[in-house]
Amino acid sequence: MNCKIFIYDEDVGEPRLNLLPGTKVEDIPDSYRCPVCGFPKSYLKPLDETSTPEKDEIKDLNYYRNRSREMLGGLCGVYPVCNGDPDHLCMGQKYGAPIGLGGAGQGKTFEANYKALQQYRLKMRVIKKHHDPEISTKIFGKKIIAPIMGAPLSGAKLSLNDAISEEDLYWALLKGAQDFGSIGMVGNTSTSPDELGAHIVGKNKGWGIPVFKPHPQKRLIELFKIAEKLDVIAIGVDLDGSGSTYWTPEKNVYRKSENELQELVDCTKKPVFFKGIMSPEDAVKVVDSGASACYVSNHGGRVLDSGQGVADVLPDIAEEISGKIPILADGTVRTGFDVLKVIALGADVALIGRSLAHVLISGGVAVQMYLDYVRDDLRRAMILTGCNTLKDATMNILTKQNY
């Protein structure tokens, strides 16, 4: 397999995939997906005498990041610090062309996300009885190993240089997050069917969350019904997607009124949340709609230039709605230290976008490896700031410094 971890043995079969002993590779259904990386049957390669798991090169995050740098063909440098720097490859966009992984316009909102989060510093406090931090939590009724999820990603053709298919992108994100012990979200894009992400979640036995762009209300309700039948964990709407540069007149996107939000919540029994909330006023409207969560995000700075950073607005939003519904937030979350800061600023769960986009080209195993790395840093950060539980992560462990 592409992940170099899973080996299919014809004599043994694979019970997890209902493949009986004696099933030959050529007889494996086309619907086959690797139980480790999520990649399709076409990635199966025979092992020769010189290639064994023990002899294969050990793959680490640096390997996968370097591989992505090559495959992204100049669209992204996969830099050590991903911060919207004007000199980075992603910001060298041609006017009127897809922005790839860069920021909208001059990239000021992308930069603001990074600077807003980095202005907060963690206070080290180590004189305290030692406890191994409890970092598991619940969201949408599901227990996850840490307050870390995969942000909704899509757009393999327009953002990732066709280095991976849209379907394989979804599989890698969903499978990697699931094997880590959390939940991945998948978006939708103008170059693929609107419901593709939801169908992939369904094939993953419902373990995942589709997030739809704000399509016309009738179409959006149709997509909600499709997702509900596929028994997904929850359903999201990418309200900040109303400014997406990727949508065409044939597939238009719109702002939504308060009544339309409530109509969407009421049309399904599944938990519903709204993404793209960047003000306390909008957050209150999300709560009033009956939504199950509020997702604080500015689309990675990819829709509105000269906007505020997520960490600039998150404390005010949390002050307004904390305890009413869970708060999700992204915004240049790269490490476990960033996760702890986002939790301290008021979020219940932090989501990671670009950093997963950098590695998912190599499949779910790379996504899982990255999330493991983030979780380990989160645990370390909690020990060094005196936090035994996530509830201990408050503004009291932060100090704000301007540089």
Looking at the structure, give the CATH architecture of the domain made up of residues 137-400.
Alpha-Beta Barrel (3.20)
Q: What is the mean pLDDT of residues 312-340?
A: 98
Half-sphere exposure of 241 (CA within 13 A, CB side): 27
> 143 - beta bridge partners?
138
305: Cα separation from own chain's centroid: 22
Length of the chain: 403
Q: Taking 60 as the threshold, does the pLDDT of residue 263 lie above it?
A: yes
Residue 146: band (very low, low, confident or very high) from pLDDT cuts 50, 70, 90: very high
Instruction: Looking at 162-301, list the stretches that DSSP marks H as alpha helix, in order from N- to C-terminal side.
Output: 166-180, 196-203, 217-229, 258-266, 280-288
pLDDT at 54 over 50: no
**Mean pLDDT, the chain, integer:** 89
Q: What is the pLDDT of residues 330-368, one digit of tens each?
A: 999 999 999 999 999 999 999 999 999 999 999 999 999
pLDDT score, position 1? 39
Q: Residue 188: name the closest of 150, 206, 214 by CA.
A: 214
* Residue 344 CB-half CA count within 13 A: 26
Mean pLDDT across the stretch 191-204? 93
Mean pLDDT over 116-134 rounds to 97
Looking at the predicted structure, is the pLDDT value of residue 3 above 70?
no
Determine the distance from the C-alpha atom of residue 105 to the mean position of all C-alpha atoms in its chain, rounded to a whole number: 23
The DSSP string of 104-153 is STTSHHHHHHHHHHHTEEEPP---S-----B--EEETTEEESSSEEEEEE
Contacts with 24 (C-beta within 8 Å, 6 or more apart), sequence order:
10
d(CA 387, CA 292) in angstroms, rounded, equals 27
- Tens of pLDDT, residues 95-105: 666 777 888 88
In the chain, ranges of CATH 2.20.28.10 domains: 1-58
Confidence of residue 57 (pLDDT cuts 50, 70, 90): low
pLDDT greater than 60 at residue 5 = no
Using CA atoms, how far apart are residues 282 and 289, in angstroms rounded to an integer? 11
Angle between helix 196-203 and 166-180 (nearest 10): 40
Q: May I ask the CATH class of domain 1-58?
A: mainly beta
* pLDDT value at 197 more than 90: yes
Ranges for all domains in the chain classified under CATH 3.20.20.70: 137-400
Residue 53 confidence (pLDDT) above 60: no
Q: What is the pLDDT of residue 179?
A: 97
Within 10 angstroms of residue 44's Cβ, the number of other Cβ atoms is 16
Q: In the prediction, which pLDDT does 48 show?
A: 54
